[in-house]
């Protein structure tokens, strides 16, 4: 199994704008559940700490294997959601690891 975790910081000027962007990302990505072969689990969390060094949004997902993760990146449903994320983020960090 491959775990794919991504953290983003939003580019909105106010906390309300960043929260709205985070909700839009959450909705777009969680809609992928059950639509992409090999995607076992996907959840999106929105930071509640408000800490200065916190990310605004985290994606936690599990894939059956590396091939499934690679296919996810190029799947048409993911490609529909990706522009929503790109438009809202100013920073991205990712970790993929085998479990």
| CATH number of 41's domain | 3.30.70.100
Tens digit of pLDDT for each residue in 72-98? 999 999 999 999 999 999 999 999 999
Pairing of strands 57-63, 2-10: antiparallel
Ramachandran quadrant class, 50 (left: phi over 0; alpha: psi -120 to 50; beta: rest):
left
Tens digit of pLDDT for each residue in 7-33? 999 999 999 999 999 999 999 999 999
- The total number of structural domains that make up the chain: 1
- On whether the CB atoms of residues 66 and 89 are closer than 8 A, the answer is no
pLDDT value, residue 66: 98
Range of the domain at 33: 2-98
């Amino acid at each position: 199994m491959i775990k794919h975790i991504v953290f983003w910081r939003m580019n909105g000027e106010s906390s309300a704008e960043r929260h709205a962007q985070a909700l839009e990302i959450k909705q777009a990505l969680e809609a992928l559940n059950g639509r992409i072969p090999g995607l076992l689990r996907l959840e999106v969390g929105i930071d509640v700490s408000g800490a200065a060094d916190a990310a605004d949004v985290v994606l936690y997902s599990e894939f059956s294997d590396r091939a499934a993760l690679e296919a996810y990146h190029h799947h048409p449903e993911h490609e529909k959601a990706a522009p929503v994320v790109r438009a809202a983020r100013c920073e991205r960090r990712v970790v993929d690891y085998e479990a």
